[in-house]
Amino acid sequence: DNGYPDLDAAAETAAVLCDNIYRRTRYASGLPTGGVKIDLPANGVLSLIKPLNIQKGVYAPTEVLHGDFQVLRPGSGFKKAQAAISRDDFVGKFILTASRRLSPEEEVSVPTLAEWYIIPPEIKRICEHAKLTTDTTQPMRNFLLRGPAGTGKTEGAKAIASALHLPYRCITCSANTEVFDLLGQILPDVDGKRTRLQRQYPSFQEIQLDPSGAYQKLTGNYDEEISAEDTYQKLIDTIFDEMHSYYKEHTSGQNFQYVDTPLVEAIRYGYILEIQEPTVIANPGVLVGLNSLLDRCNSVYLPNGETIHRHPDTTIVITTNNDYAGCKQMNQSVISRMNLVIDLDEPDEDTQVERAMAVTGCKDAKTVRLMTRIVKSMAVYCRENLITDGCCGMRELISWVQSYMVCGDI
């Protein structure tokens, strides 16, 4: 009744099947057909089956002959690739404030998506979260993108700015980044001295055409007999005297001015801000200084004494990875203030081929696909053998394809 009434016969059949699989894998290289080749890591450590991949259906069985799977989920395998997201349905379609109009200077800062860019569904999902929560008590404006190099984190941040139609600003962190590098600094006003000396001096053309009028502009006295040469000399003497007088009065003090950072500019005027690689900062507590901007307080105290409040449209996108040398773990208080955390996986083979061909203009799809498989196999080998010095990803593939186009040989 249960499908296998003879348990002994069923056990014998199962043993034969197990032995068959063992022989196909153990002696795969010596079999003319039917061998199942398995690439084992050199260190002997097999990759774990992650629960997330089980939930996503990576290892889902295609058919169930009998019984119930307890771990794997039948019928939950990957669905066919979704249709590509149209640029017409993405660019400028997630504007947060419909009544807002950007100035001409701000319009120039809105990124334009490149023709080769393939819009990831994760990026569109972020835009949907930002748009659909705009009228709620706590709109979603803080996002974290994590992933290996070349997975499109920065391009994704620019794509978000394009979809929201907001100017894009960026801060790249280093090991020595401090809070004041993010919030602004008090610096010597070097340009201030020069600007204070500027006045409406007559131009050389004015002196040549109307020396008397130019002389009056310099001295306040009109002289019909003055020559252009004398007016030139008077201009030089006037500038020299004013400079000498100014610096004589201001030698004892130094003027300072507050300089805005891209972060402060984005907070003040409602732009998209990308904070790149904060995990390389030597002091993980630096980003904690921005917590008041990331939570409901939405304000921060600047070094010049000013308190700025976060613009409702300001969207912060943190892009980082934790897998490379020099990277540290982010402070948990910062992560808890991220409204959405997206882990960007490496693109699949078809996406990598399409992207590499679009970026480089290469038309040899067969060769690009071969190069893509080599790059992916190298990345897997490095990961399985704990080789962390170097990177083998999308950027390296694009550079290799470009070199192939120049040399004609891979």
DSSP 31-45: -SSS-------TT-P
pLDDT at residue 315, rounded to an integer: 94
pLDDT in tens, 45-83: 666 777 767 776 677 777 777 777 777 766 555 444 556
Residues 6+ positions from 340 with CB-CB distance below 8 Å: 125, 126, 129, 140, 142, 143, 144
Angle at 404 between CA 398 and CA 408, to 5 degrees: 165
Q: Is the pTM of this model over 0.85?
A: no
Give the mean pLDDT of the chain: 81
pLDDT at residue 140, rounded to an integer: 92
Q: What is the mean pLDDT of residues 197-225?
A: 78
CATH architecture of the domain 90-186+258-343 equals 3-Layer(aba) Sandwich (3.40)
Q: What is the mean pLDDT of residues 287-309?
A: 79
Is residue 314 scored above 70 in pLDDT? yes
Q: What is the mean pLDDT of residues 12-40?
A: 85
Give the SS3 label for residue 300: strand
Q: For 107, list phi and psi in degrees, rounded to 5.
A: -60, -35
Domain residue spans of the chain? 7-56, 90-186+258-343, 190-253, 349-407
What percentage of the chain reaches a pLDDT higher than 70?
Answer: 85
Q: What is the mean pLDDT of residues 185-213?
A: 68
